[in-house]
Amino acid sequence: MNQDVNSELNSVTRTRKVVNLMLWVIVAGAVFYSLMTSTPLVSAHSLWSWSGWALGALTDAAFILSISADAVLSKHGMSGGRWATAFRWLTGAASLFLNTWTSIALGDWVGVAIHSISPLILVTAAEVAPVYRRKFRDLELKLRNQVKEFTVTKVVSRKVQSSVQASGSLQGEPVQSSSSVSQPARGSDKRGSGLLSPNQQAIRDGFLAGRKGADVAKEIGVSGSYVSAQYRKIRAELDLTA
């Protein structure tokens, strides 16, 4: 089971990294295409034709800023809020205008459609990427908790088994496996055979679960001092087997 969970966790992590990589590939391609398309338009309406690339670069830089901020926030399960969404859409609309206005002015609707593809993909990717990141984050946390729970349970089980064996050795009685335990002979002492009474078992379970002694005492109807003494005994046994 643990191997299956680890394998699934590794698969989710790889997929998340691929999604992040593909997002930045989309950003790089869209920025490059946008600069080539928007530069002639801005140059034709500027006193300095050589500066045509600046407005497109500024718009794309603002969009990259938004995506970078969302990447960090979504990694921690947070959202930028309405202003962050408005900022993304504003920069996306500006990029769409710079890419399509030349074709709109010429009445070239095929050109409008072609030059709309890059900005629209970029805007959509920017909206869906935080959703993917948050989902991947939640799934990775869930799988990591399962791995941690399995590991802790395995370690605690080993310590409990070792403590029971040590307790049986100290009492001079052989420790019976769970498959070979039978009803004790008449007149025999359960404590001498290493078996626990129901109250002792409940106290041991409470100790391993990290519960307070007072809560366990109240639950099983014994004194708090008795539970405290049993807690100290269990702790000493675990220290011997550590």
Question: Is residue 170's pLDDT more than 70?
Answer: no
Question: Is residue 32's pLDDT more than 80?
Answer: yes
Q: Tell me the per-residue pLDDT of 90-118, one tens digit each, with 9 for 90 and over.
A: 998 999 999 999 999 999 999 999 999 99
Question: Is residue 173's pLDDT more than 60?
Answer: no
pLDDT of residue 108: 93
Q: Tell me the per-residue pLDDT of 43-89, one tens digit each, with 9 for 90 and over.
A: 888 888 888 889 888 998 998 898 888 888 887 878 888 898 899 88
Q: Tell me the per-residue pLDDT of 150-165, one tens digit each, with 9 for 90 and over.
A: 777 766 776 666 666 6
For residue 123 the two structure tokens come to 């805007």
User: pTM of the entire structure?
Assistant: 0.56
Domain map of the chain by residue range?
Answer: 2-146, 159-167+194-242
The CATH number given to 159-167+194-242 is: 1.10.10
